[in-house]
Amino acid sequence: MKKFILFLFALFSLSASAEDGHRLWLRSELPNDVVEKIDPTMPDDDGYRINGHTITARTKMGLLYGRYALLRGEQGESHPFYKLRILNHWDNLDGSIERGYAGKSILWNNDLVIDHEKIAAYAEANASIGINGTVLNNVNASPKMLTRTYINKVKEIAGILRPWGIKVYLSVNFGTPKALGETKTADPLDPQVKRWWQKKAKEIYTAIPDFGGFLVKANSEGQPGPFDYGRTHADGANMLADALAPYKGIVIWRSFVYGAKHHGEDRVNQAVSEFAELDGKFRENVILQSKNGPLDFQPREPYAPIFDKMQKTPQMAELQITQEYLGQSWHLVYLAPMWKEFFTFVKPEKLVGIAGVANIGLDKNWCGHHFSQANWYAFGRLAWNPALSSRQIAEEWLKQTFGNEKGIVKSREFASAITSVMLRSREACVDYMMPLGLHHIFKFDHHMGPQPDGYIARYPIEWCPVYYHRANGDSIGVDRTHTGSNATGQYPEPYCSLYDDINTCPERYLLWFHRVPWTRRMNSGRTLWEEMQWRYNQGVSEVEDFIHIWQEARPEIDEQRWREVNDRLQRQLKDAKEWRDVCLGYFGKLQEKK
Ligand code: GCU
pLDDT, tens digit (0-9, with 9 covering 90-100), for 32-53: 899 999 999 999 999 999 999 9
What's the mean per-residue pLDDT of the chain?
94
Tell whether ipTM is more than 0.85. yes
Q: Please indicate whether residue 324 is annotated as part of the active site.
A: yes
**Which residue, 360, 388, 416, sits at the end of a domain?**
388
Peptide bond into 494 cis (omega under 30): yes
Q: Report how far ligand 1's centroid is from the alpha carbon of 139 (Å).
A: 8
Q: Are strands 84-88 and 76-78 parallel, antiparallel or unpaired?
A: unpaired
How far apart, in whole angstroms, are the C-alpha atoms of residue 399 and residue 92?
A: 34
Query: Is 125 within the bounds of a domain?
Result: yes
231 and 135, same domain (yes or no): yes
Which of 291, 296, 322 maximizes ligand 1 atoms within 8 Å of its Cβ, making it the mutation to test the pocket? 296
Q: Which one has a higher pLDDT value, 345 or 403? A: 345
Domain residue limits at 328:
84-388
> Of the listed 91, 187, 190, 324, which one is catalytic?
324
Instruction: Assess whether the C-beta atom of 256 lies below 6 angstroms from ligand 1.
Output: yes
Whichever domain contains 303, its CATH number is 3.20.20.80
Q: Report how far ligand 1's centroid is from the alpha carbon of 132 (Å).
A: 24
159 and 253, same domain (yes or no): yes
340 and 248, same domain (yes or no): yes
Q: Cβ of 443: how many Cβ atoms within 10 Å? A: 13
Strands (DSSP E) contained in 525-584 are none
Q: How many domains does the chain have?
A: 4
- Give the pLDDT of residue 407: 64
Q: Report how far ligand 1's centroid is from the alpha carbon of 504 (Å).
A: 32
23 pLDDT higher than 50:
yes
How far apart, in whole angstroms, are the C-alpha atoms of residue 311 and residue 465?
A: 34
Q: Read off the pTM.
A: 0.96
Which of 256, 270, 359 maximizes ligand 1 atoms within 8 Å of its Cβ, making it the mutation to test the pocket? 256
Query: Is 452 within the bounds of a domain?
Result: yes
Contact predicate 286/249, CB 8 Å:
no
How far apart, in whole angstroms, are the C-alpha atoms of residue 328 and residue 473?
A: 32
Q: Cβ of 280: how many Cβ atoms within 10 Å? A: 10
Q: Please indicate whether residue 221 is annotated as part of the active site.
A: yes
How far apart, in whole angstroms, are the C-alpha atoms of residue 240 and residue 146?
A: 14
123 and 255, same domain (yes or no): yes
Instruction: Assess whether the C-beta atom of 217 lies below 6 angstroms from ligand 1.
Output: yes
pLDDT, tens digit (0-9, with 9 covering 90-100), for 102-130: 999 999 999 999 999 999 999 999 999 99
243 pLDDT higher than 50:
yes
Average pLDDT over residues 539-561: 95
- Give the pLDDT of residue 403: 83
Q: Cβ of 591: how many Cβ atoms within 10 Å? A: 15
Buried b (16+ CB within 10 A) or exposed e, 90-108: bbbbebebebbbbbbbbbb
Give, as one character, the DSSP assignment of residue 290. E
Q: Please indicate whether residue 564 is annotated as part of the active site.
A: no
252 and 155, same domain (yes or no): yes
